[in-house]
Structure 1
């Protein structure tokens, strides 16, 4: 007896779609010059994907992996599995962003402080994931801030500040020309060995403000502020955190890039950073590797997500 799956595939040519069986549970589907492949992912589930370059997939080249009892399915290309490190980091980035979005919703956060915003990648990702609250982004360097400002110009609830944040109000020289890794700190010996970009740099004088000094302005107009703090400042997160003073207690949660292997001279290690955050009342809800050594597999940095448990809304 024909399965429903096969009957559906046989109907596709009537709407201009060509179907060719290439393996049990797998078929090649094409329309015009763009092939699509259909992969059986289990009972009642099939996945259709566009094939790169119009290539016909080899039988068994694609597999579908069920993710536990969640109902989610991961479509795995054979080529993807060849670079374990890249696959793991991509998965970690995806899981981290999904987790942050879930925590923002659970804790009813309505203002995200995006410290070390770069071009606005983090804020744009939050919007794609459905976060509609206020975003306040901080980026100190002139060239990068111009890109950030442009990214935010059509979003009325995305505010941008051209400054860095730290322990005290001052000015400082920041290393530039390191792309997403510009820092107020110089590179460590380990950092120089890992990244050739650290061998040369320009500098730019920037303004440093305290977080507690900008909070009233950033939260203005919110009747019941429930802020979340994200920091990605290339070794400077604890200085930003210190600048919040007592007002750090107002944050329902936070996110910090913590270092296992230090890329910057004088930056805190993961143990010191996490201990500081936990002493301020935050508890870890997720740890996601950001970078790993290709030769050893060691994690260099984690994205650490922490929430203040007593700030969770009562069910």
Structure 2
């Protein structure tokens, strides 16, 4: 398998449940359906107007559910920066001098108070729906992916695959760069399987961001527990 694709991952790991964290308007979920995936999708989008668009996108698909939530390291209420392009909205502040590649997309328009939960708490609350599932965790949270993972300590053992956006040139204050992100995932037992460039600087072609696929190399994830993986913490 020289050229790893999304359908390859879904098939190889027998994925039957996708957690789409930072779903925006449902672009990733639609790409899953276009790729032939027919399993369950749970999409999380906390910004109210964007969530409404997501919910409309999921309407009519019985196996795609939208949730008006952010995932993070703790349960509570937080303020999110809503940017000119809502796909870049983040719980982190944008850097003052973003790369010219993004134009005014990172211009802050307003703040919004949102509801945040943890992946552990979510899976615990909805335990039966996720029992014995093969979960792919996709995150595109604009610099916040590792914070999502910190709230999933009891759940990671049951997740075979993570898709995460990593930054070679961080666009947000206090966001980890790719070295910190990859080291953190490695420490948790997730090894890099492939890297897909998503943004690069036009002047010198240097990478700005990439989507990375990471696989759980600490053995077959535990999938028999319905309490958020509490019997097999990483």
Task: Return the TM-score normalized by structure 1.
Answer: 0.65
Is 1:188 the counterpart of 2:118? The answer is no
Residues 251-290 of structure 1 aligned to structure 2 (within 5 Å) = 251-290=159-198
User: What's the CA shift for 1:121?
Assistant: 0.6
Q: Give the equivalent residue in structure 2 for 1:78.
A: none
Q: Give the equivalent residue in structure 2 for 1:35.
A: none
Is 1:99 the counterpart of 2:8? The answer is no
Maintained 8 Å contact 1:219/1:225: no
Is 1:311 the counterpart of 2:217? The answer is no
- Larger RCO of the pair (alpha carbons < 8 Å, separation 6+): 2
Rounded Cα–Cα distance in structure 2 between residues aligned with 1:223 and 1:264:
36
Seen in structure 2, the aligned counterparts of structure 1 residues 135 and 217 have a Cα distance that, compared at 3 Å, is farther
SS in 1 for 2:204: coil
Residues 56-71 of structure 1 aligned to structure 2 (within 5 Å) = none
Seen in structure 2, the aligned counterparts of structure 1 residues 199 and 123 have a Cα distance that, compared at 3 Å, is closer
Is 1:241 the counterpart of 2:149? The answer is yes
Maintained 8 Å contact 1:282/1:308: yes
1:45-69 Cα deviation digits (max 9, x unpaired): xxxxxxxxxxxxxxxxxxxxxxxxx
1:136-188 Cα deviation digits (max 9, x unpaired): 11000110000111111111111111010100111111111332101111111
Q: Give the equivalent residue in structure 1 for 2:229.
A: none
Maintained 8 Å contact 1:259/1:270: yes
1:48-100 Cα deviation digits (max 9, x unpaired): xxxxxxxxxxxxxxxxxxxxxx9xxxxxxxxxxxxxxxxxxxxxxxx7xx712
SS in 2 for 1:220: helix
User: What's the CA shift for 1:251?
Assistant: 0.4
Q: Give the equivalent residue in structure 2 for 1:113.
A: 19
Seen in structure 2, the aligned counterparts of structure 1 residues 200 and 281 have a Cα distance that, compared at 3 Å, is closer
Q: Give the equivalent residue in structure 1 for 2:117.
A: 209
1:286-309 Cα deviation digits (max 9, x unpaired): 101110100111000010001114
Q: Give the equivalent residue in structure 1 for 2:158.
A: 250
**Further displaced range: 174-183 or 250-259:** 174-183
Task: Give the structure with the higher percent helix.
Answer: 1
Seen in structure 2, the aligned counterparts of structure 1 residues 153 and 199 have a Cα distance that, compared at 3 Å, is closer
- CA RMSD after TM alignment: 1.9
Structure 1 stretches lacking a partner, 5+ long? 1-69, 71-94
Displaced runs of 4 or more, over 4 A: none
**Further displaced range: 300-309 or 229-238:** 300-309
Aligned length: 217
Maintained 8 Å contact 2:44/2:67: yes
